[in-house]
Amino acid sequence: MFSERIGGLAGDDHAPLYKQLQRALREAIQKKVLGPDDALPAERDMAEEFNISRITVRKALDGLVSEGLLTRRQGAGTFVAARVEKSFSKLTSFTEDMISRGRVPRSEWISKAMGAVTPEESLTLGLSPGTPVFRFARIRYADGAPMALEYSTVAGFALPSAEVVGVSLYEALEATGHRPARALQRLRAVLFTAEQAELLGVPVKDAGLLIERRSFLPDGRAVEVTQSYYRGDAYDFVAELNALS
């Protein structure tokens, strides 16, 4: 039975039932009880097994679909997402994205250094010329497979040194109270250059997505600008849109 496989609902807390079902599914994905492309039972069967209404099941699944953990296929049902489906509306880090999908994140450093802001960065980050910044270049892996190349520039005031950044940049920023609260992103299709292709282990001119994220602190100061080159065959970007009201 599916409910036995994923461990059933907590039952002992006061969270709404759809949240309890979401938590059970999330944990099953994180612990790899459910793997990529695994099909979920039909909504009506889940409702019966968990003894909750079909509307509650639908609400729980809708939420996980818009987070990118699950995916719906017309006429076939709901599945655990196989490609990384990344929500465009959540300000999460690569590390968090991978952990929530049951994958193990790792980074290989290309470079980690302190320097002075370039004229271009001084415009994007709103820093005066000559201000110190940190630059981080990394290959990002999930379960040992290369997923993205990331080039980040972080305002000097946000970190005590480049060395404090371990696996996660956002964790280091959080520790100093400078985790971004808001971001602007722009996305563009690219073909990987020979150098990029080699770092990612894909053929030259393979398709990729370049996402530039400029992120800000609650007080409005820009803290980070990152260019992420994601493998086009590994990612889907998902956004929830609401009609103008």
The site for ligand 16G (CB under 6 A) is made up of: 93-95, 150, 152, 168-171, 211, 213, 224, 226, 228
The distance of closest approach from Cβ of residue 165 to ligand 16G in the complex, given in angstroms and rounded to an integer, is 7
SS (H, E, C) the chain: CHHHHHCCCCCCCCCCHHHHHHHHHHHHHHCCCCCCCCECCCHHHHHHHHCCCHHHHHHHHHHHHHHCCEEEECCCEEEECCCEEEECCCCCCHHHHHHCCCCCEEEEEEEEEEEECCHHHHHHHCCCCCCEEEEEEEEEEECCEEEEEEEEEEEHHHCCCHHHCCCCHHHHHHHCCCCCCEEEEEEEEEECCHHHHHHHCCCCCCEEEEEEEEEECCCCCEEEEEEEEEECCCEEEECCCCCCC
> Of 56 and 152, which has the nearer Cβ to ligand 16G?
152
The distance of closest approach from Cβ of residue 215 to ligand 16G in the complex, given in angstroms and rounded to an integer, is 7
> Of 13 and 108, which has the nearer Cβ to ligand 16G?
108
The distance of closest approach from Cβ of residue 29 to ligand 16G in the complex, given in angstroms and rounded to an integer, is 19
The distance of closest approach from Cβ of residue 130 to ligand 16G in the complex, given in angstroms and rounded to an integer, is 24
> Of 57 and 223, which has the nearer Cβ to ligand 16G?
223
> Of 89 and 193, which has the nearer Cβ to ligand 16G?
89
